[in-house]
Chains A and B, each alone.
Chain A
Amino acid sequence: MSFFSFESNDLEKEKQRYLTGEVKEEGLTEYTWGDNSYDGLGDVLQERGDELNDETFGGIGDVGKDFDFTRQVLPGDVPLELRQTPALQHTNGLSHERSLSPPQKHAYLSQSSSSLQSIWDNKSPFSVLPKMAASTSRVADHHARPVTTPDLLSQSQSTHSTFSPFADSIPLRHSPALSQESSLPLAGSQMEGRTLQEIEAEMRASAMRSREAPQLRQQQLLQAQARTPPPRLHPHAQSPRFHQLQQHILIQQQQQQQQQQQQLQDLQEQLRVEELERQLRAQQISQLQQQQQQMLLRRQSPSGPTLAEIQAAQHLAQLQQEQRRRQHSPALDQRYHMPQPLQESAQFLPQNIQMQQRLLAELAQAEFMRDYGTPQTQEEQEALRAEAVRKIMEAERMEEKRRRKASKIAHMSRYNDLMTQSDKDFITRIQVSQLVTQDPYLEDWYCQTLSRLRRARQGLQPEEQRVLTFDSGVGVGLGMPGQRPSGRKLSAVQRMEAQVERIVNNARQREREKGLQSLNSLQGALGKTAGRSYKAAPRQLLQVDSTKPAANGGHTEDEFKARLGEHAAKEAAKLRRGVFGEAYDEEHNFVKQDPLTRLEVLVIIEHLYDLVLEADIFVERHGLLDDVEGLDERKEHRAKLINSMYEGLKIKLPIETSNPHPFISLLGPVKGKRLLSRIVPYLEGEHLLTLLTLFVTCFPQLDVVTRAPILDSMEDTPEKREIERQTTAFQEFVMSMSMVPVFHKVELRVLAGLLSFLHERGELVTIARTKPGLDLLCLFLSRADSLIHAYDTGPEARPPPTVDSLTTWRVMFDGMFDTLTPHILDLFPSERILRAQTGGTAQIPPEQLDTTAWQFLASVGAMASLSQQQTLVTALREKVLDLVIGVKKGWVADPEERNMKMKNVNIFLHALQLDSSQITV
């Protein structure tokens, strides 16, 4: 609001501080009063007349006696204002109403402005201030003639009312009580100081002078007005919008002028009434004053004032007070504070403040003048006039400056309102859209996808609130209630366990169907299961013919190969040829390569991820291929993408390309393992078969297999931890998420063929000593089991396996069984660890490690023939008894460990239709 960044409060405060003498004058020049408007003129001011400062400001304590309330009582003085105001109104005309207010102010001011010299030379803050802000009022000021003091009093009153916070709203209510209080002693003291004659003479002189003044002043004011057009009408304003605004302002002005006109008419009416009143009052007062004169005369006599005299004086003072207020007509006051039209309003406040400051300065000046009389000799007046001319020039310079400033503002303001609110909104939207894209899947993909996944996991509608919008997305969370931690990992392990469990359960069911005789055949196999009288160790009842297994299946490789049916051999060869094509047959017709370096692996993996993501996005966008248009194109694109992924996996490279095979190298890093699970869903038919064959064939090359022995240790090394991490990832992403689905599509004869690969290479035992290997073998058995017994009753149920393939599988299974049985204890990690620990304090490996082995053995047991089962039992008898006895005798302290042991034993025993409860200790 404040154009010159003045704060009226501050000024008020400042004034207060000066009045109380808190602030020394020296500080003045340093105070800039708002950098914008300060023109530095204060610094070049002549610093003269300091010796009077003390008189002016110092001994202020007894202010009262300095005020002369009696002077303006003169009738000649009273109508001055009244005469002046209507005159102004008439000459200026109503159309100039707006510009009327400053001149009126000046009329007020200049009446009271006293010796210019003293004003300009006075260093008091109140005289310095007005020089700093340029305004039209200044011009008027400097044309002012030397004015005598009387009007000051009325001025001081108006000053008072302007300062008062209530002045604007209730100028008339200016508390009578207060004014009475203040005026009473003043009046009294005044009367002491002068004679009535003196006063009258002074007032007449001042009235004469002031009568001459107004016309001149008014002319000058009008000139000043013409020189400075209102800033908003500045010719620089060219923008069409600006013109619109101007028109708008003009309309507003017209409205205002109409209002003002109305007010003015009222005002004139009021003033006329007031004038009459005043004349009446003036008569009264002059009467009173005559009384007073008599009183004063009497007072010079030794006797003090009588009560009547005092009362009379009081009455007089009261009346004077009243009159002053009347002079300062309420209507005028109202006019004075009339709302300023738009662009003036900015200057309104500082002007007002200026006014206040000037009035104060003049007040101080008047004090001085009165105390020391008006010293104006002819010379002094000449000097004063010369000085005045100089001041006028100066003021004009400042006026020029102000105009430049105003034009500059106008120049800048021509761009005002070039943009509508909607333009601005549009730009805001553009800016915000830089931060938040409309496509939340691009920038906020993680958040959006995760929340969708979570919703899906919670069984909520996946479509509901699928995409968080712009509004709610910024800085706002999704607030998913009750999130389930890592659901995927759990399911991976659970799925593996479920496989084994299913095999075992199936086996049990079959046994039940077959009848009791087969169950009986193993009864007591683990020792005597009943009879409390035997307190000794369980007696071995089972007489296992150690030669029997050998008779059933070949122990040696040669024997196995001899017994390997024609079918299996044929299948294996056919499979290999089918999978690897010509390259495999012509074994030397390929480039033998170095294995991929880790960097190469990573680069290839990242490239593949790009493809996967592209495919994901493609499917996301065109998931349903039922849109006929461009269907072929999309199919083609999809096929191309899939082919790229397939090629990228290096599956087609011959097995012997390198060791490890590039594909196996790609499965090295965790993200490679993960990648496989991302690609497999895209692959179909032939690709999957090739993948599976390569995977099984090159299985021993996998890092998790080759480095598995490191896990057979109780030491905790970073390397071991890393392998554990890899193994977990392998189990989750490769076995559970990639291979289980692949195995699900494989026929029995392929299974047999694949198993024969492993066997041929003599790597069965190596593989079986690793967790991933056991997992793989479990997969074989599980798939075979469901094929043989036709549990696969899905929509893609296949015809039951042919007799040929059944026979082949049987041969392969027997082969595997015979190969592994001699090393059966080696399958248990705990056994391997215990064997490796030589001397020292042996640590007992946790039972959990053995779970996979037990699960595998359970699978084997379920599929094994009767004699094979007996072999199994014989081989594992001690191990089983160890565990059961350990648990039942309470040697195992940890309840969890106990549970785990029982669970492991039982999963195996259940496959054989036995239970740990059958074992008595």
Chain B
Amino acid sequence: MLIFSVFKTLTDQRVTVELKNDLSITGTLKSVDQFLNIRLDGIKVLDEQRYPHMMAVKNCFIRGSVVRYVQLPAEHVDTQLLEDATRREAANQTKR
């Protein structure tokens, strides 16, 4: 749930999602769910020459499992808080 929580704070930010098939899509993060499925608006594919069929696509829903990376806007991530959250989560996990 931690990562889900993080993505929630990044809604309406521009992110770049890199898929496992090397397709990179930049777009505005509209929503995310606990499977880390991602909905992007106003998307732009990085290598449009290679994926011309994506040119007309303006928004998309990405299944979480096909994601390799998501590049996040660093200025919108509070790393200290994030680490605390991770520690809390880790503590919760061990308590269970």
Contact = CB atoms under 8 A, between A and B. Distances in A.
B33 A474 contact: yes
Contacts of B56: none
A609 interface: yes
Interface stretch (A226-234, A413-421, A437-445, A892-900): A437-445
B87 A477 contact: no
A445 B9 CA distance: 11
Nearest to A435: B34
A414 B33 CA distance: 38
A483 interface: yes
Nearest to B77: A450
Contacts of A45: none
Interface in A445-488: 445-451, 453, 473-480, 483, 485-486
A228 B8 CA distance: 61
B11 interface: yes
Contacts, number: 74
A618 to B, nearest CB: 13
B33 A475 contact: yes
Contacts of B76: 483, 485
Contacts of B4: 444
Interface string A478-514: 1110010110000000000000000000000000000
B54 interface: no
A308 B38 CA distance: 83
Contact of A613 (B8, B9, B75, B84): B84
Interface string B2-14: 1011101111100
Interface string B39-67: 00000000000000000000000000000
Main secondary structure of the interface of B (DSSP, over half): helix
Nearest to B8: A447
B82 interface: yes
Contacts of A610: 87, 91
B75 A486 contact: yes
A478 B87 CA distance: 23
A479 B5 contact: no
A630 B53 CA distance: 67
A493 to B, nearest CB: 16
Given A610-B87, A671-B83, A476 B5 contact: no
Contacts of A486: 75
A446 B11 contact: no
Interface residues of B, number: 30
Contact of A475 (B9, B31, B91): B31
Interface string A157-200: 00000000000000000000000000000000000000000000
B29 interface: yes
A480 to B, nearest CB: 8
A559 interface: no
B6 to A, nearest CB: 6
A490 to B, nearest CB: 12
A486 B34 CA distance: 27
B91 to A, nearest CB: 6
Interface string B61-96: 000000000000001101011111101110110000
Given A449-B81, A486-B75, A606 B10 contact: no
Contacts of A555: none
B5 A613 contact: no
A674 interface: yes
Contact of A446 (B31, B32, B75, B81): B81
B78 to A, nearest CB: 6
Interface string A599-635: 0000000100110010000000000000000000000
Interface in B13-40: 29-34
Given A447-B8, A447-B9, A450-B81, A606 B75 contact: no
B11 A477 contact: yes
Nearest to A468: B8
Contacts of A474: 33-34
Interface in A521-575: none
A475 B5 CA distance: 9
Output the residue of A435, A446, A475 with the most chain B CB within 10 A: A446
B81 A444 contact: no
A451 B11 contact: no
B76 to A, nearest CB: 6
Nearest to B1: A443
Contact of A479 (B11, B32, B88): B11
Contacts of B89: 445
A546 to B, nearest CB: 51
B9 to A, nearest CB: 5
B31 A478 contact: no
Nearest to A477: B11
A445 B5 contact: yes
Interface string A646-682: 0000000000000000000000000100100000000
Contact of B78 (A435, A444, A453): A453
A477 B31 contact: yes
A613 B87 contact: yes
A763 to B, nearest CB: 31
Contacts of A606: 87
Given A475-B33, A613-B87, A613-B91, A674 B5 contact: no
A447 B92 contact: no
Nearest to B11: A477
A475 B4 CA distance: 8
Interface string A210-251: 000000000000000000000000000000000000000000
Contacts of B8: 444, 447, 473, 475-478
A446 B29 contact: no
A450 B78 contact: yes
Given A475-B31, A477-B12, A479-B11, A445 B85 contact: yes
Given A476-B11, A610-B87, A674-B80, A447 B5 contact: yes
A176 to B, nearest CB: 56
Contacts of B81: 446, 449-450, 453
Contacts of A478: 8-9, 11
B10 A477 contact: yes
Contacts of A443: 1, 5
Contacts of A435: 34
B87 A479 contact: no
A476 B31 contact: yes
Given A477-B9, A478-B8, A479-B11, A446 B85 contact: yes
B79 to A, nearest CB: 10
Nearest to A609: B87
Nearest to A444: B5
B2 to A, nearest CB: 6
A448 B88 CA distance: 13
A642 B74 CA distance: 33
B33 to A, nearest CB: 5
A610 B91 CA distance: 8
A473 B8 CA distance: 8
Contacts of B85: 445-446, 449
Given A453-B81, A477-B8, A445 B88 contact: yes
Interface string A712-749: 00000000000000000000000000000000000000
B29 A447 contact: no
Contacts of B91: 610, 613
Nearest to A610: B91
Contacts of B87: 606, 609-610, 613
17 contacts: A445-B5, A446-B81, A446-B82, A447-B5, A447-B6, A447-B9, A449-B81, A450-B81, A475-B8, A475-B31, A475-B32, A477-B12, A485-B75, A486-B75, A609-B87, A610-B87, A613-B84
> Lowest 6 CB-CB distances: which A-B pairs, in order?
A477-B11, A446-B85, A485-B75, A447-B5, A443-B1, A446-B5
Given A435-B34, A447-B5, A477-B10, 15 more contacts: A444-B1, A444-B4, A446-B5, A449-B81, A449-B85, A473-B8, A475-B8, A477-B30, A479-B12, A483-B76, A485-B76, A610-B91, A613-B84, A613-B87, A674-B80
Interface of A: 435-436, 442-451, 453, 473-480, 483, 485-486, 606, 609-610, 613, 671, 674
